[in-house]
Amino acid sequence: MGLVGLGLIGGSLGLDLRAQGVEVRALVHRSATAERALERQLADQVSTDPAVLQGCGLIVLALPLDRLLDPDPALRQALPADAVVTDVGSVKQPVLERWQHWHPRFVASHPMAGTAQAGVEAGVEGLFSARPWVGTPGVATDPEALAAVRELAEALGADWLECDADAHDQAVALISHMPVLVSAALLQSADQGGAAAGAAQLVRRLASSGFADTSRIGGGNPELGTLMARCNRPAVLQALAAYRQQLDALEALVQGEDWGPLHAALSRCQALRPEFL
C-alpha cells in the first residue's frame, strides 16, 4: 500500500491500515515530515524519494487539490503502471479528466471525512468510519481498479457510494463549497455592518451559539476554501446563483411584509433540515 502525502487524510489512512497489519509505504515532500511521520508510526517506510512507491499494489494520492491537478512529474513517473491509483480530492471532474489520461488504473474517489486539523500531526485513527466515501468512475475507469478502491474504503468502515463526477461536484458545491462563501460573507457583514452602525463591540458581545454555528465553516481553513472555489468554480458559481435566488425570494417576503408566506417558507426549512442530517 502506498500513500502520497501524510496530512490529515494520508496520516489517518496510514494509522488505520497499519492497525490492520497492512504494510504502508509513504512519499512525502520534506524530510522533516518523513521523520515526524515515522515517529508517529503513520507508515512503515517514509521517504522523500518517489522510488519508495515501487512494488505498491494500491496507491492513494492524499494531496491538496492544486498539487493533485498539477503533480510533480517525478511522482507521475514513479507510479507503477500496474498499481491501482486513487485520490481523495473534494472535486472530482477535473481530477478524473487529467488522471484518466495519466494512469491506466486511476480511480477518482473522495472520502468525506475531516477535522479542522492539517499536517503531519493531524492524522487520527477511525477517521473514515461510517463516513461517505464516493467513487466517481468515468467511462474509461477499470472496473477491477474501482472494486479495489471500494474494498479499501469498506475495510476502513466507510459507506461506499458511486456517482457521476459532475453530479458529485454539483452536490458538494451546494452542501460544502458554496456554504463556505455564504458563511464567510456572514462574518464580514457582522464585522462591517457592526462598524457602520457604531456597534463593532456590541455585535461581538451579543453573538451567540447560533452565530458561532453559522460562521464556523466561513472562519475555517482559507487554503481549503480557496482551493474548493478554484477547482470547482463552475459548480460553485451555479450553486451561488441558486442560493441568491432563494435569498432574494426570502428578502422579497420581508420587504413585502408577507409574513404568512415567510412563515410557510421557514416551516418548510424546519422540515427539510432533518433530511440533511
Task: Compute the least distance from the CB of residue 70 to its own copies, in Å.
Answer: 14
Task: Compute the least distance from the CB of residue 6 to its own copies, in Å.
Answer: 23
Task: Compute the least distance from the CB of residue 50 to its own copies, in Å.
Answer: 28
User: Residue 144 or 154: which CB sits closer to its own copies?
Assistant: 154
Task: Compute the least distance from the CB of residue 7 to its own copies, in Å.
Answer: 18
Task: Compute the least distance from the CB of residue 276 to its own copies, in Å.
Answer: 4
User: Does 161 contact its own copies by CB under 8 A?
Assistant: yes
Binding map of its own copies across residues 191-230, x = CB under 8 A, - = no contact:
xxxx-xxxx--xxxxxxx-xxxxxxxxxxxxxx-xx--xx
User: Does 22 contact its own copies by CB under 8 A?
Assistant: no
Pairing assessment for the beta strands 25-27 and 159-162 based on DSSP bridges: unpaired
User: Does 160 contact its own copies by CB under 8 A?
Assistant: no
Measured between alpha carbons, how far is 23 from 83 in angstroms, rounded to an integer? 15
3-state secondary structure of 222: helix
Grid cell 458529485 — which residue?
168
Measured between alpha carbons, how far is 17 from 183 in angstroms, rounded to an integer? 35
User: Does 127 contact its own copies by CB under 8 A?
Assistant: no
User: Does 265 contact its own copies by CB under 8 A?
Assistant: yes
3-state secondary structure of 58: strand
User: Does 38 contact its own copies by CB under 8 A?
Assistant: no
User: Does 21 contact its own copies by CB under 8 A?
Assistant: no
Q: 52 and 74 in contact (C-beta within 8 Å)?
A: no
In angstroms, what CA-CA distances link 87 with 17, 65, 99, 162? Answer: 16, 9, 10, 14
Measured between alpha carbons, how far is 25 from 23 in angstroms, rounded to an integer? 7
User: Does 267 contact its own copies by CB under 8 A?
Assistant: yes
User: Does 130 contact its own copies by CB under 8 A?
Assistant: no
Task: Compute the least distance from the CB of residue 172 to its own copies, in Å.
Answer: 6
- Residue list 41-100, contact with its own copies (CB under 8 A): none
User: Residue 81 or 271: which CB sits closer to its own copies?
Assistant: 271
The window from 29-37, 81-89, 149-157, 250-258 that contacts its own copies (CB under 8 A) reads: 250-258
- CB atoms < 10 A from the CB of 191, how many? 13
Residue 147 contacts by C-beta under 8 Å, 6 or more apart in sequence? Answer: none
User: Does 167 contact its own copies by CB under 8 A?
Assistant: yes
All three cell numbers of 80: 507503477
Grid cell 522510488 — which residue?
51
User: Residue 75 or 200: which CB sits closer to its own copies?
Assistant: 200
User: Does 121 contact its own copies by CB under 8 A?
Assistant: no
All three cell numbers of 197: 452602525
Number of residues that bind its own copies (CB under 8 A): 92
DSSP for 151-210, written as a single string: HHHHHTT-EEEE--HHHHHHHHIIIIIHHHHHHHHHHHHHHHHHHHTT-HHHHHHH--HH
Task: Compute the least distance from the CB of residue 234 to its own copies, in Å.
Answer: 10
